[in-house]
C-alpha cells in the first residue's frame, strides 16, 4: 500500500471492520493484492505476505485461503473450490481472480494498492457489478480462458463438444435445442473484417 498516514490507517481499519461485519453475517470476501512476492521497488503488498499477516491479525478468527498465478493448477483449483463452496471465508489473491470467479456470497472486495492497477483491471476485478453504477451483482456476461492455465479445461470442453456432436449431429434432441438456437444466431452474425 502507498504511504500510510493517520487517515490511511483509519480507512484501513474501517475497511477491515466492514469486512469482519460481512463475514460475521455469513458472507465472504475477496482481498486482491498486486504481486505474488514482496517487491521493495514497488513497495506493494504481496498476496503471500498479506495472506500470512491477515491470518494472524485482522482476520485471525476466519478461514483465509490464498490464490495466485504461480501456484500449481491443482492448488489453485483447490483454493477456489474451497472458497466457492463456502469452506473459506476470505480469498486473498492476485489479479488471477479476474478470470471469471463468480461467488455470489462474496459481497465485499478490498483491493490493496488500487493505484497500481489500471481502470480496465479494476473493471475486470469488480465481478458483474458496476464500478460507478447501481448494478452490483449478476452473472458474468463473458467468460474467458487463459492459456496455458486453462489448456486442460479447453481440451475437455472441446472433447465434450465433439462427443455431443457425434451423438446428435444436427442438435435436434430436445435437450440441445437451446444450443442449436444459440449456434444459429452466432453463425448469422456478420464477421468483422
Is position 177 within any domain? Answer: yes
Is position 136 within any domain? Answer: no
d(CA 19, CA 24): 9
The total number of structural domains in the chain stands at: 2
Show pLDDT as tens, one digit a residue, over the chain (193 residues). Answer: 444 567 888 888 999 999 999 999 999 999 988 765 556 444 345 788 899 999 999 999 999 999 887 788 888 888 888 998 899 999 998 876 655 567 888 888 888 877 777 776 666 666 754 444 444 444 444 455 666 777 888 888 889 889 988 999 888 887 877 788 778 877 887 766 5
Specify whether 119 is located in the same domain as 164. Answer: no
Domain range for 175 = 151-188
Specify whether 56 is located in the same domain as 121. Answer: yes
Cis peptide before 148 (omega within 30 of 0): yes
Is position 138 within any domain? Answer: no
d(CA 32, CA 46): 9
Is position 135 within any domain? Answer: no
Give the CATH number for residue 85.
3.40.50.300
d(CA 181, CA 17): 48
Is position 39 within any domain? Answer: yes
DSSP reduced 3-state for 52: helix
Specify whether 113 is located in the same domain as 159. Answer: no
Amino acid at each position: 500500500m502507498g504511504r500510510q498516514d493517520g487517515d490511511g490507517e483509519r480507512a484501513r481499519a474501517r475497511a477491515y471492520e466492514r469486512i469482519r461485519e460481512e463475514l460475521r453475517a455469513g458472507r465472504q470476501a475477496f482481498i486482491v493484492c498486486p504481486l505474488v512476492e514482496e517487491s521493495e521497488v514497488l513497495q506493494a503488498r504481496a498476496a503471500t505476505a498479506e495472506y500470512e499477516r491477515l491470518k494472524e491479525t485482522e482476520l485471525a478468527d476466519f478461514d483465509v485461503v490464498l490464490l495466485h498465478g504461480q501456484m500449481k493448477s491443482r492448488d489453485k483449483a483447490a483454493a477456489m473450490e474451497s472458497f466457492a463452496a463456502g469452506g473459506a471465508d476470505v480469498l486473498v489473491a492476485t489479479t488471477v481472480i479476474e478470470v471469471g470467479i463468480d461467488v455470489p456470497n462474496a459481497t465485499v472486495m478490498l483491493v490493496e494498492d488500487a493505484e497500481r492497477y489500471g481502470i480496465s483491471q479494476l473493471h475486470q476485478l469488480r465481478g458483474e457489478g458496476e464500478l460507478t453504477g447501481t448494478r452490483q451483482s449478476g452473472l458474468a456476461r463473458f467468460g474467458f480462458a487463459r492459456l496455458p492455465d486453462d489448456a486442460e479445461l479447453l481440451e475437455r470442453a472441446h472433447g465434450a463438444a465433439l462427443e455431443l456432436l457425434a451423438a446428435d449431429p444436427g442438435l435436434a434432441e430436445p435437450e440441445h435445442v437451446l444450443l442449436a438456437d444459440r449456434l444459429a444466431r452466432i453463425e448469422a452474425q456478420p464477421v468483422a473484417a
